[in-house]
Each structure stands twice: as structure tokens, then as C-alpha cells.
Amino acid sequence: MESSLQSDLYQAVRETDGNLFYSPYSISLALAMTYAGARGETEQQIADTLHFILPQDRLHPAFNSLDIELSRRGESAKGEDEEGFRLNIVNAIWGQKDYKFLSMFLDDLAENYGAGLRILDFASAPEESRMTINNWVSDQTEGRIEDLIPQDLIDALTRLVLTNAIYFNAAW
């Protein structure tokens, strides 16, 4: 990720009132997961927007290496008011049951982002699917994010939901 994405994001959110905390890394990571499934013009548009300069066969392993290093450093830290920090980065892909996703896309997400496919039935049970995803996000963020996906966002046309959560805790 180049610093220009950070600048683009900051320009988009700087008018927000109150305290602001956002993670360009988290946003890049989540969007890189969608990039793994893009080809042709869409692939180029995503690369241009996110300022990705590496080809896909090198970009995703680079994100994986960075994620592993950040997770390693965050695992041993304490967070709260104690010394150090705590960092937990998790990803998941939620797919409509019986939908045929490209195996190469799923393999990239599992191998490089730790995001194995989790099957849900968006078509028949959109609210239950939403609650399953929200409960997972809440668990991964120790209850800090409880309602990531609002009611009525998931419907019978939903085929894929990618989630990315970063839990960061440190003394400030």
C-alpha cells in the first residue's frame, strides 16, 4: 500500500466531527481480498484506486507476510494499561450456499488472508445470516463492534460478504 491511499482516505474522512480512528491497512486488506477475484478492467480499476503496484501473484503473498508479522507482534503484547499493545487481525468470507465460486479466488483468500469460505443461506435466511456475521465480528473484536451489518442490508440477492476486523488495544 502506498501512502497515497492513506492520503486519499484521510481526505475523505477528515471532515468527521469528534475523534476519528481508521486503518488504511485494514481497508487495503479488505479491498485486496476483492481484488483477488477481479480480472480485466475491474482489476486495473481496483489497482489504480488502491495504488497497488505489485502484480496479484506478488501482492497477496506480501499482504500475508505483513499480516503474519503484525499478528506475531500483537499476540505477545498485553494491551489495556499494561505495557505493549494487542493486535488481532481477522478476515472471513461468507458465501451463499450452492453458489459456485471460482476455486482460485477461494484458494487465494484462504492461503493469503486466512479467510476460508463460510457457507450461509442469504437467500432463505438473510436475517439469520446477518446475525451470524455480526456475532463473529463481535467475538473477534471483544464486543467493540456489535452491529457491523445493519438490518436489511443482506437480502436474497446477496452472494458474498467479505469481513475484515482489526482489534487494537494499547495504552495511549
CATH number of residue 107's parent domain = 3.30.497.10
Given a contact cutoff of 8 angstroms between Cβ atoms, the answer to whether 5 and 24 are in contact is yes
Chain center to CA of 42: 19
For the chain, the domain total comes to: 1
pLDDT in tens, 64-77: 999 888 877 766 65
Q: What is the SS3 assignment for 94?
A: strand
Grid coordinates in use for 47?
A: 489497482
pLDDT in tens, 2-37: 457 677 777 777 776 766 667 788 888 888 999 999
The pTM of the full predicted model, rounded to 2 decimals, is 0.77
Closest CA to 108 of 62, 148, 66: 62
Q: What is the SS3 assignment for 169?
A: strand
Range of the domain at 20: 3-170
Average the pLDDT over 86-109 and give the result: 90
Q: With the CA atoms of 80, 22, 92 and 37 taken in that order, what torsion angle do they form, in degrees rounded to the nearest 10?
A: -160
